Amino acid sequence: MSSPAFSLTMLAAAVAVVATTVAVPRAEARAFFVFGDSLVDNGNNNYLVTTARADSPPYGIDYPTHRPTGRFSNGLNIADLIGENLGLESTLPYLCPELQGQRLLDGANFASAGVGILNDTGFQFINIIKIPRQFEMFQQYQERVNELIGAEETKRVVSGGLVLIVLGGNDFVNNYFLVPFSARRLQFSLPAFSQYIVSEYHKILLTLHDLGARTVLVTGTGPLGCVPAELAVRSPNGLCAEEPQRGAQLFNSGLRTMIKGLNKEVGADVFIYVNALQMHNDFINNPQAYGFASTKVACCGQGPYNGLGLCNPTSYLCPNRSAYAFWDPFHPTERANRYIVQQMLHGSRKYMHPMNLTTIMAMQHSTN
């Protein structure tokens, strides 16, 4: 649990971000590329025939348009908030027909709800954009930009861009722990599975590097055993479910070690580990210090902890989204996302390793 001094410091930071724009070096004509799952999908799945969708109310209730956009949030997700704080243009979903011409130079969001590190993750959602396909789309993107501004400038746009990739949670909750005797549970012990997906993630990140990415934020998973969905089915006493929580700890520990080694492998600090587990644990372990009334119950849902099924128009909906850490059974509220992004921008090496995003931006700004 956080110390009182630490909690007060973080509470002040959380309040400050709501009231003001953060003073960080502004990104000058920097593209932003987003890969991963529902934590950062901003609408690609709207264009797919899939059950992994967030295109109906009350999703988007606190978005500027107050309409659902495909984001699994009441408002903005972490990719939106990174862009907002850095002064980046809002990236469009890659499948959006409006992503044409000069808008391509702002980057693109390739994320798709339901995907994981492994290709067998998310099979139950029928039609989602697995990571190999997201990377194929990234290659297509580069070809389109090449036609627009030429090969050398395209290389500059990609290498100078900021990349965010968010993966891992679905490999546990929608694969390993999906059913009591899943194929992956029969194949692997939990420590062996965690080690396996970290090794597969290593391959994914190397491919991203081969595709030209040079500044990549890599998020670990949040506290998987503490989300309302897991509390609803695995926790008779309201405590975080032990096995998913252990999986998150094993994965995050392995991911940090892997990224440290990967940076040595490529000869530069290309990959930045984002300790999402610790960021979430701050407010889950001490909700009042961060202004949350609840970090167990979802704002939108049904059943115990509002953790069963999907958030939909007939679900219970809390009147004050800012009082809740979780929007639906799996995803944070915009307010929780804002705290997470503040730590990404300014957090110590406890949260961001080897450096935070503000430091990265300042270093790159000084060399331009």
Between residues 168 and 19, which one has the greater pLDDT?
Answer: 168
Instruction: Report the pLDDT value the prediction gives residue 7, as an integer from 0 to 100.
Output: 35
Closest CA to 297 of 323, 336, 279: 323
Structure tokens at 100: 């044409």
For residue 223, being part of any structural domain is answered with yes
Does 92 fall in a domain?
yes
CATH code, domain with 85: 3.40.50.1110
Read off the pLDDT of residues 27-78 as tens digits, 9 standing for 90 and up: 456 999 999 999 999 999 999 999 999 999 999 999 999 999 999 999 999 9
Instruction: Look at residue 42 and tell me if it is in a domain.
Output: yes
For the cut 60, the answer to whether the pLDDT of residue 19 exceeds it is no
Q: Encode 72-81: b = buried (16+ Cβ within 10 Å), e = exposed.
A: bbbbbbbbbb
**Spatial CA neighbour of 278 closest among 355, 344, 361:** 344
Task: Report helix, strand or coil for 362.
Answer: helix
Percent of the chain exceeding pLDDT 90 equals 88
Catalytic residue (choose from 37, 209, 328, 353)? 328
pLDDT at 236: 86
3-class DSSP state of 35: strand
Alpha-carbon gap, residue 164 to 32, rounded angstroms: 8
CB count in 10 Å sphere of residue 2? 17
Let me know if residue 23 belongs to a domain. no
| Residue in 202, 209, 280, 331 annotated catalytic | 331
pLDDT at residue number 368: 60
**Enclosing domain of residue 71:** 4-16+28-367
pLDDT above 70 as % of the chain: 92
Alpha helices in the chain (DSSP H): 4-19, 78-86, 131-149, 151-159, 169-171, 183-187, 190-210, 228-234, 242-266, 276-285, 334-346, 357-367
Q: Which residue has the higher pLDDT, 242 or 6?
A: 242
The pLDDT value given to residue 245: 97
Cβ contact 335:341 at 8 Å: no
* pLDDT score for 104: 97
| Structural domain count of the chain | 1
Residue 143 pLDDT exceeds 90? yes
- Taking the C-alpha atoms of residue 330 and residue 112, their distance in angstroms, rounded to an integer, is 15
Q: How many CA atoms lie within 13 A of 354 on its CB side?
A: 12
Residue 29: the pLDDT is 67
For range 71-89, the mean pLDDT: 96
pLDDT for 2: 38
pLDDT in tens, 259-318: 999 999 999 999 999 999 999 999 999 999 999 999 999 999 999 999 999 899 999 999
331 is catalytic: yes
55 is catalytic: no
62 is catalytic: no
Average pLDDT for the chain = 92
Catalytic pick from 38, 73, 112, 315? Answer: 38
Confirm whether 21 is domain-assigned. Answer: no
Instruction: Inform me whether the pLDDT recorded for 6 exceeds 50.
Output: no
Mean pLDDT over 354-362 rounds to 95
Contact 276, 340 (CB under 8 A): yes
* Rg of the chain, C-alpha, whole Å: 19
Q: Which two tokens stand for residue 11?
A: 């509470």
Q: What are the pLDDT digits (tens) for 110-128?
A: 999 999 999 999 999 999 9
Paired sense of beta strands 300-301 and 271-274, if any: unpaired
What is the pTM assigned to this prediction?
0.91
**Is residue 306 in a domain?**
yes
User: Is there a domain that residue 190 lies in?
Assistant: yes
Asked whether residue 186 is assigned to any structural domain, the reply reads yes
